[in-house]
Chains A and B, each alone.
Chain A
């Protein structure tokens, strides 16, 4: 909590002002944005008739307006068991990040939705708005445990089914899915939302401290890999990890998604103030 309090202070200072571009704030007032005309058909709301045009053309033309939308700020947290590793755990780190981002959203009166991958299609996360929802948001975050064993693609798919609104989607995950992260990300691309992929890795994953003959047990599917730790293996592992992250980055940037690699030793504060700013998520 104290961390979040501090975050609040820090973020308030920084994020005074507008959030990112595509987001149209409803603060612009009640005015509706004109979109198009079409012929009146029976049943249309008479209030939308353009009387001026009727006077001039003697035709019933209906004015169409863009539907008013809130900015949806979705945070999707991967709370699979693999997120429970590291110190602090990757999930913890993800929560902090989500809280920080959400807080910014709340104070900007955006619609902040924080969900985890494991939620079913019907199980919607609470829609939060306004400062006073901070505590609710934190409660939601606190309730998350790294116990959900849903594949990344499935989780994202469910998320997309639950939430049709457009806006910003921040996916916080380690992308460690044997079936690949690509399918999951494609769902998001299809939504044509502004997607941020926060790739969280723990220090142990980046620089494993293991030796000897080991039997590695996957915490999610109990898959076992027998390895004999050796310098070439470690080198190979690092290479693989590198290829993995670069692959993800490539994949994202090709599809207009933003990719950000973070590890659990990097303070959230720094991440917020430096990296995210640079990436343009926050200003």
Chain B
């Protein structure tokens, strides 16, 4: 494996042939002597000269046949080159090889000999590809947060080289699992169709596939993954363990807690180096310098700085680290030295509460905190039938419509909705059909459509007549005294909402529509659910807070007495209104597709990227605009007919990527100065980091160059009659 020579002369009968070559040259040299005859007046003097030279003959002979020696040397070099001598490296192993090359953001670190880590990795791979035997198959995968097959299994070295060259640095995060899964899927294919010949090659299933992983190791160990036939012997860490990097790991704007009309920008700077660093964060707005702050960051820690944004209403905010600090730390990664944030016109959200009259709800929605998110309009269910309201709802003018004990007339509005005590229109068709008027006759309380709840939702109402306007499929379970047994705490709507001792008198069972999620589960089934709809979301509370009946208002639950009730409402406002309003201010990760939120209804929108490139985004059938090209970190503008409609930013806020230091293995020997890079754990398999580069240093190229040099030298000597 580490042999000094790799014989390129495969059939052994070639060897004697090679040995014959020098002899042939020698023979030619002695036989050739096809000297040009030149007539001279007399050979008298020449003879004498030659004789003189022959006196010290051996050395003279050597000098005379310098050309011969040069020719022999040339030949020797060529033959030596054929032996492919090399050192320090393993030859490529296995018949089938997968090269997985990390092209995530951290691979842009410049702490290697090559231009960056990725370039170094590419060099390694190309060196390895050069060593491929003709019967080897190799494949190239590039991976960041998603893995991509750059080149399928082939033995064509040129194709592999080109594929490797094509891999470009991205600003994405790293996910090795994706690459492993992809490699695993491709490691044992029944057949591989070779593209150029279109011939399916059965590569067999039992064959081991060697996986070379080229990465800097900035990702977590992969758990729950079985390697199967993959043999990832080679994890090749690139980079240094002592590289320093300063990074902006968070940057956002928000309203000042104390003064809601004022905005603040908040930036977090992380120091990924062994020394405490002082960084200067410079803030600029639309390219104009706004402010700068110095922050001292202990080693390996992060510190935040806050800027006040007085007078900044909209546009592009950029935070960057001043170059002085960057040079001091020897900043290895550039992409995280800048962070962008978009400030959108701070229009307040519009929330419509359609209720027959619900004091508990209106009171809870009247808090200062909630007002900050937007104007709460309160309307009677009768407006639902008006043309004016329907137009508004269709145009998406509202950020959130809360239907309390009512439902929209014809179709769902173009906005987020929250239904209290009723079901959205399209949920009805998917709702689990139940046996109407089932045994306990507890519910059968069909929703109180446009009518203002004249059909009581009261406990034992049990009127089973369905709503005339509705389809026959609609059956809603209604249960009495459901006991809450579980809640989805991780959902933003349920953050800090504690539903421990809530008593509910009666509730609908609301199984979520397709793609939805149950937020609160009761003994009888889900009572709060949420489901997406065409880029919006519908939250459904199965139980009314209070029932308005006969001009009187009767509580249906004691929830309103708990802190969790206004918290839930605030969450809802934050989630639905804040998301659409400030959601775009929030940052997006590079490479993630993005549903553009805009009030516009245009067929297509234009997105201007950080590099000034314009892209047209068409409206999808469901009314959303999906934008995919977020590879570049920076500031994007959404334009509708040259009018800036909205803004968003893409940032690499990823501590893993920014921490460019190579993880070092825990050292058993404290005296050992040389730290070795940490290995990689995939499932239960430890993949050791290969300190030595697996790419073998081949000598044949310099040898051939040398041979050419010798050839030139020989030619020169022959022509210029010089001896050294």
Residues of A in contact with B (beta carbons under 8 Å apart): 81-83, 85-86, 90, 174, 176-178, 202, 204-205, 210-220, 223-234, 236-237, 239-241, 244
Contacts and interface: CB of A to CB of B under 8 A. Distances in A.
A226 B35 contact: yes
Contacts of B39: 216-217, 219
A177 B44 contact: yes
Contacts of B42: 82, 174, 176, 178, 218-220
A276 to B, nearest CB: 24
A225 B36 contact: no
Contact of B719 (A211, A215, A231): A211
A-B pairs with the 4 shortest C-beta distances?
Answer: A215-B35, A176-B42, A82-B41, A225-B43
Contact of B723 (A212, A214, A230): A230
B38 A210 contact: yes
A215 B718 CA distance: 16
B46 interface: yes
B471 interface: no
Nearest to A241: B45
A60 B691 CA distance: 131
Contact of A216 (B46, B721, B722): B46
A240 B43 contact: no
Interface stretch (B48-56, B139-147, B247-255, B560-568): B48-56
A82 B45 CA distance: 13
A214 B43 contact: no
A214 B42 CA distance: 14
A211 B43 contact: no
Contacts of B612: none
Interface in B202-229: none
Most buried by A among B34, B41, B50, B64: B41
A236 B63 CA distance: 14
Given A215-B35, A216-B40, A240 B723 contact: no
Given A219-B40, A232-B723, A233-B53, 19 more contacts: A82-B41, A204-B40, A210-B38, A213-B36, A215-B36, A217-B40, A217-B43, A218-B43, A219-B39, A219-B41, A223-B47, A225-B47, A228-B64, A231-B721, A231-B723, A232-B53, A232-B63, A240-B48, A241-B45
A213 B38 contact: no
Contacts of B41: 81-83, 85-86, 90, 174, 176, 202, 204-205, 219
A174 B722 CA distance: 30
A241 B40 CA distance: 14
Contacts, number: 105
Given A225-B46, A231-B722, A236 B40 contact: no
Contact of B45 (A210, A213, A230, A240): A240
B50 to A, nearest CB: 6
Nearest to B52: A236
A236 B43 contact: no
Given A216-B40, A217-B37, A211 B46 contact: no
Given A210-B38, A213-B36, A214-B38, A236 B53 contact: yes
Contacts of A216: 37-40, 43, 46
B33 interface: yes
Given A211-B721, A212-B718, A244 B37 contact: no
Nearest to A234: B721
15 contacts: A83-B41, A211-B719, A211-B721, A213-B34, A216-B37, A216-B40, A216-B43, A218-B40, A218-B43, A225-B43, A227-B46, A229-B721, A230-B723, A232-B63, A244-B48
A17 B179 CA distance: 114
Nearest to B37: A215
B70 to A, nearest CB: 13
Contacts of B53: 232-233, 236
Contacts of B40: 85, 204, 216-219
B50 A225 contact: yes
Nearest to A236: B49
Given A210-B38, A240-B48, A240-B49, A223 B43 contact: yes
Given A224-B43, A230-B63, A233-B53, A215 B723 contact: no
Nearest to A174: B41
Contacts of A211: 719, 721
A195 B701 CA distance: 71
A212 B67 CA distance: 11
Contact of A230 (B34, B35, B37, B64): B64
A149 B38 CA distance: 20
A240 B52 CA distance: 9
Interface string B509-543: 00000000000000000000000000000000000
